[in-house]
Amino acid sequence: MIEDPLIDIKNATIYRGRTCVFEDLTLRIDQCEPTAILGPNGSGKTTLLKVINRELYPVRRDDSWVRILGRENWNVWELRSHIGIVSHDLQASYRNTVSGLHVVLSGYLSSVGVHGSLARRISTDQTSVAKRVMQMLGIDSLIHTPLNRMSTGEQRRCLLARALVHDPDTLILDEPTAGLDLAASFDYLARIRRLITAGKNIVLVTHLLNEIPPDIDRVILLRKGKIVADGTKSDVLTEKNLSRTYDIELRLAKVDNYYLAYPTNG
């Protein structure tokens, strides 16, 4: 059986407020195709993830579509069991006093935190799964800890657990290591690598080339809402492509299937 692509975008025009971020965007990402998306600030990376996650819709037109897993229409609930998301935005939207467990449980409600009557919609089975996922990610000690007493890395792991409660096939990660120290970033990346090995698909947005796990082989470069390069990592991550994307001169090093960009002296 041929699987529907994770995302199939055809000629899409997508606005954020009054800003036209993408005009006639065409892009396909398959279900078992871990992919990294890179590009300068404001190039449209988060916007693209929000389109995949059904937070943003394209302008309606006859010759244009955005299909997620083969369908144009989804209810958010149903989509959550297929696609989990971890982002900066999401982390910032939580109240500081919400506990680690409630952040994770909120994944079941597609909401931010578990308050009042919402708490009654959580079953004991769901609570057990949430605790198990927290244990798997090494954050079971944070079950009762409020967010404002956690480090950024601990908060980020709670959000990863939140995305994993549904055991989704795909995880969408928007700068998942932003603000984490080296050890926390590497720990997070090791967990992501294990998830890829376990068969999860990953769509990763990052600013750091060295944080593209070797297991991700497709890279898309975005610049001002246009795809400037798309292909295998070794074809796309070249000094020429990156210089063109970021409008700067740079040098590129490759060690053990990891890449690193650094400035030229000139």
Ligand X SMILES: Nc1ncnc2c1ncn2[C@@H]1O[C@H](COP(=O)(O)OP(=O)(O)OP(=O)(O)O)[C@@H](O)[C@H]1O
Question: Residue 37 or 237: which CB sits closer to ligand X?
Answer: 37
Instruction: Please give the single-letter amino acid code of residue 182.
Output: L
Under rule CB under 5 A, residue 206 binds Mg ion: no
Q: Which stretch binds ligand X (CB under 6 A): 45-53, 114-122, 208-216, 227-235?
A: 45-53
Q: Are 59 and 93 in contact (CB under 8 A)?
A: no
Paired tokens of 227: 């795809």
Collect all residues with Cβ–Cβ distance below 8 Å to 150 and sequence separation of at least 6.
100, 142, 158
CB of 155 to ligand X, least distance (A): 18
Whole-angstrom Cα distance, residue 174 to residue 49?
8
Under rule CB under 5 A, residue 46 binds Mg ion: yes
Q: In what order do the strands lie in the sheet with 201-205?
A: 83-87, 170-174, 201-205, 35-38, 218-223, 226-232
Question: Residue 102 or 218: which CB sits closer to ligand X?
Answer: 218
Going along 81-238, which residue ranges are E strands? 83-87, 170-174, 201-205, 218-223, 226-232
Under rule CB under 6 A, residue 44 binds ligand X: yes
Paired tokens of 123: 């079953």
Q: Which stretch binds ligand X (CB under 6 A): 38-46, 102-110, 114-122, 148-156?
A: 38-46
CB of 175 to ligand X, least distance (A): 7
Collect all residues with Cβ–Cβ distance below 8 Å to 223 and sequence separation of at least 6.
39, 40, 43, 244, 245
Question: Residue 105 or 222: which CB sits closer to Mg ion?
Answer: 222
List C-alpha distances in Å: 44 to 51, 81, 174: 10, 25, 12
Selection from ligand X, Mg ion, none that 21 binds (CB < 5 to 8 A by kind) is ligand X
Under rule CB under 6 A, residue 41 binds ligand X: yes
Number of residues this chain uses to bind Mg ion (CB under 5 A): 2
Under rule CB under 6 A, residue 21 binds ligand X: yes
Under rule CB under 6 A, residue 47 binds ligand X: yes
Q: Which stretch binds ligand X (CB under 6 A): 35-43, 79-87, 130-138, 256-264?
A: 35-43
Question: Residue 25 or 134: which CB sits closer to ligand X?
Answer: 25
Q: What DSSP character marks residue 7?
A: E
Q: Which stretch binds Mg ion (CB under 5 A): 27-35, 38-46, 121-129, 178-186?
A: 38-46
Question: Residue 46 or 53: which CB sits closer to ligand X?
Answer: 46
Task: Give the binding site for ligand X (CB under 6 A).
Answer: 16-17, 19, 21, 39, 41-47
